[in-house]
Each structure stands twice: as structure tokens, then as C-alpha cells.
Amino acid sequence: MNTFTRLFLATTLTCTVLFLGGCGPKPVSPYAGGGTGSSDSNADANRMGNITEETSPGTEGLNSTGRGGSGSLSGDADQQSDAYKREHGRSSLEFKPIYFDYDQSKIKGDQIPSMEHNGGYLKNNGSARVLIEGNTDMRGTNEYNLALGERRAMSAKSYLKEFGIEEGRIRTVSYGEERPLFNGQNEDDFAQNRRDDFILE
């Protein structure tokens, strides 16, 4: 090899290494909702629910679950308390979670007031969009629980549609057993995990 060829190869190798070093993974912020009011339907169609666990609220209108929504609490201790979780689940403060019987996806009669509350909020806030997250307890296979969580989310979506909320304002996702609110092995903990959460987008 002559000197020119060696110099050319060394330069090419150096440039390649420098170029590839700048192509490493980029940090991506998790979706946090927030209701920007954007009309970009393609962006809306590609959004996914935030899979991270509860985070402390920032100063930009994030609620206790790290998602969009108004309202605030005095601190992280309140948001992590069992009492708070039992009242709000992972729902945005504007909404109420609903709970299901074991292995069921039908909305129980005692959950209708919560559904009417959620539907009323959406009716009174015409630009609001909601993500319904279906959850199950840990019993059953992962595949079965994902399907059950989806049926639960779809039951709530059907109710909201009958309530008069446009289908385009409602998205659903199933987490099955993957995101338990309580990790205990007793019936009370299982009952708290069999729920739909409603997330303001």
C-alpha cells in the first residue's frame, strides 16, 4: 500500500468512528399526557400510555401519576399513601377509577356513579380526551389477563359512547396484571387491582 492509500483509509476510519459515536441512543421522554390541545391526529394516534410507575408531580400541571391533569396535593407522601391509591388508583384527578368483580368485565351497578362522573367531565370539557387503562389482579395467565383488561377498558369505552362522548376522544389500553397498585396477596389487594383507570390526555 502506498502512503496515499494508507492516509485515505486512516481518515475514513477516523471519520466513521466519529460519526458512529454521535449516533448512540438518544434519551426519549416517556409520554406524560398533558392535553396540549394539539390537533395533530397522527401524533394522537401514535401515543401510548405511560408505563412507568407513579412519579412525583412537576410544576407543569402533572398530576400524581405523572400525567396531565389539574389539581395538586401537598406532597409525595399523600400521593403514595394507600388511602390516596384506594380513592384515585392511577386515574387523573378529574376522573374516578372503576372496579370489577373477579374475572368479570361488566360494569357493576355500584360503579355507575363513577362512570357518570367521568362522562359528565368529558361532556363539560368538549376538547378533553381520555385514555382508559384496563387492569387485572395477578391470578390467571398473562395473556388471559391482557385480554380481560382490554374487555374491561372496552366496557368503559362503550358506556362513555352511550353517554354521548365521541369515540374519537376515547382510547383504551390493557396492562393486564403488569401494573398492580397493591402487591399483597389478599382479596382486598386483588380487588383494588381489578380496575379501569381514566387518564386525561
The answer to whether residue 131 sits within a structural domain is: yes
Find the mean pLDDT for residues 161-179.
97
The answer to whether residue 26 sits within a structural domain is: no
The answer to whether residue 196 sits within a structural domain is: yes
Considering its fold, how many domains does the chain have in total? Answer: 1
The answer to whether residue 80 sits within a structural domain is: yes
H-helix or E-strand spanning residue 198: strand 195-200
Closest C-alpha to 45, from 31, 58, 27, 25: 31
Closest C-alpha to 171, from 133, 131, 125: 131
* C-alpha gyration radius of the chain: 22
> Is 70 exceeded by the pLDDT of residue 64?
no
Residue 197, Ramachandran bin (φ over 0: left; ψ between -120 and 50: alpha; else beta): beta
The answer to whether residue 46 sits within a structural domain is: no
H-helix or E-strand spanning residue 132: strand 130-135
The answer to whether residue 134 sits within a structural domain is: yes
Identify the domain containing residue 152 by its residue range.
62-201
> Is 80 exceeded by the pLDDT of residue 137?
yes
The answer to whether residue 44 sits within a structural domain is: no
* Per-residue pLDDT band at 20 (split at 50, 70, 90): low
> Is 60 exceeded by the pLDDT of residue 101?
yes
For the chain, the 3-state helix, strand and coil shares in percent, each to the nearest 5, are 40, 10, 45
The answer to whether residue 56 sits within a structural domain is: no
What CATH number did the domain enclosing 190 receive?
3.30.1330.60
Task: Indicate whether this model's pTM tops 0.85.
Answer: no
